[in-house]
Amino acid sequence: MEKLNGTSMDLIQENVKKLKEIFPEIFIEGRIDFELL
């Protein structure tokens, strides 16, 4: 059986990274502009 290391992935950061890849124009000064989104 494989032992887990006890840490979880930072899902929010992963989702932000994916958004940056798909919609780079919605990021203003490193933050998401929800009006553009």
15: in domain: yes
20: in domain: yes
2: in domain: no
User: What's the CA gap between 18 and 4, in Å, rounded?
Assistant: 25
**Residues of the chain with pLDDT > 70: what percent?**
76
Q: Identify the pLDDT of residue 4.
A: 62
- pTM (2 decimals)? 0.59
- Dump strand ranges (E) for 1-37: 27-28, 31-32
What's the whole-number average pLDDT of the chain?
Answer: 83
Q: Identify the pLDDT of residue 9.
A: 66
* DSSP-derived 3-state class of residue 12: helix
Q: How many distinct structural domains can be found in the chain?
A: 1
Instruction: Give residue 24's domain range.
Output: 8-36
Q: Identify the pLDDT of residue 6.
A: 58
